[in-house]
Amino acid sequence: MTTSMAAGRLDLPRRCGDRPSTREHNPHQQLSQIAPVELQEELWSRMSALDDVLLGHSGVSLPDTRAVHLRPTMAQGPDEAYLAGTEFAHLHGHGDGSLHMCLPKDVVAQAVRQGWAEPHPMARQGYLPGTLVMVYGPRDRAELDVVWQLVRISHGFARHAATA
pLDDT 10s digits, 101-110: 999 999 999 9
Would you say 4 and 11 are in contact if contact means Cβ atoms under 8 Å apart?
Answer: yes
Query: Can you tell me the mean pLDDT for 143-160?
Result: 98
Q: How far is CA 131 from CA 7, 23, 43, in A?
A: 22, 19, 21
Per-residue confidence (pLDDT) for residue 138, from 0 to 100: 98
Handedness of CA 25, 91, 87, 142 (dihedral sign): negative
In the predicted model, what is the mean pLDDT of the chain? 93
Residue 161's pLDDT band (boundaries 50, 70, 90)?
A: confident
Nearest-angstrom CA–CA distance, 73 and 101: 20
CA dist 65 and 156 (Å) reads 21
Instruction: With cut-offs at 50, 70 and 90, classify the pLDDT of residue 4.
Output: very low
Residue 164 confidence (pLDDT) above 50: no
